Amino acid sequence: MSLVVTIILAGNSLATQVLAQEVKGGEIIPGQYIVLLEETEFAELVIQSYQLESITTYQYVFNGMAVAATEEQLSQLRDDPKVIAIEPDRIVIHKHFKSRNLKLLRTRD
């Protein structure tokens, strides 16, 4: 089970549970990762500490961030006790959206 599905299952609504069942693991985005942090940590501070390229931060469903990282930075993150989990970032398309031929909008080049 990927981190994406785990995050979606954190919601209590029936819609998020159905969505989680229908999401398929997608294509890995090379060099990009989703990092789950301890609740007391600030993503911005971790990003600065390891000089990571920030893609986005998360604070409502879980505490963490999406970052671009080198293998060396990734190794350091894995050894950090503030980090709970690291998963490769993926392109995930829900079958509902795929069937409607909607185009994905990328937020970064």
Distance CA 74, CA 76 (A): 5
Task: Give just the sign of the alpha carbon dihedral 70, 79, 89, 26.
Answer: positive
Instruction: Enter the pTM of the model.
Output: 0.65
Q: Which residues contact 64 (CB under 8 A, 6 or more apart)?
A: 34, 35, 36, 37, 43, 57, 58
Query: Per-domain residue ranges for the chain?
Result: 26-99
Domain 26-99 has CATH 3.30.70.80: yes
Q: Return the closest-CA partner of residue 67 out of 42, 44, 101, 41.
A: 44
Task: Output the tens digit of pLDDT for each of the chain's 109 residues.
Answer: 444 444 443 444 444 444 444 445 678 899 999 999 999 889 999 999 999 999 999 988 889 999 999 999 999 999 999 999 999 998 877 666 554 444 555 555 4
